[in-house]
Amino acid sequence: MDNLLYISALIAAIAFAVLVIYLVRLLKESERTMTSVANTLEGLEKQMEGITTETTLLLNRTNALAEDINQKADKLNGLVDSISGLSSTFTTFSASVKEVSDTISKIAVENKEETAQAIKWGNVAMEVFKKKKDKKRTK
């Protein structure tokens, strides 16, 4: 029976040795995996620093562009206001011209005979001027 006890102790010792060997291998593989993960994280950290730098530059450029657009929009608003003022000036001018035209038409209707006489004298003056001009050309 003592032999059986020795044999069982030997089997237990061998099983324990095999378990230890497998645990050592598992721990070494885990160490390699952890080292690989650590290296990957270091690379990722460096890439994140680059991305952060690029993002900061992009944000600064975007802010500068937005500020430039705001300045140009303010200038454009001034131009639109000026054009609006110009439009009202043209409207007022057009109304004034219409009023003067209406007044002239009214006076012309009231003084038909004098108007006809003035038109005739104007035509005569134009013909005399034209004849003088033609005479100068022929000489």
pLDDT tens, position by position, 26-66:
999 999 999 999 999 999 998 898 899 999 999 999 999 99
- Using CA atoms, how far apart are residues 139 and 121, in angstroms rounded to an integer? 27
- Using CA atoms, how far apart are residues 88 and 36, in angstroms rounded to an integer? 76
pLDDT band at residue 77 using 50, 70 and 90 as cut-offs? confident
Domain presence at residue 138? no
User: What is the total count of domains within the chain?
Assistant: 1
Amino acid identity, residue 39? N
Between 121 and 85, where is the model more confident? 121
pLDDT band at residue 25 using 50, 70 and 90 as cut-offs? very high
- Using CA atoms, how far apart are residues 99 and 87, in angstroms rounded to an integer? 18
139 pLDDT more than 90: no
Domain presence at residue 19? yes
| Cβ neighbourhood burial of 65 (10 Å; 0-12, 13-18, 19+) | exposed
Domain presence at residue 114? no
Domain presence at residue 89? yes
Mean pLDDT of the 84-109 span: 82
Residue with tokens 């705001």: 70
Domain presence at residue 76? yes
Domain presence at residue 20? yes
Domain presence at residue 84? yes
Domain presence at residue 31? yes
Q: Please state, for a pLDDT cut of 90, what percent of the chain lies above it.
A: 42
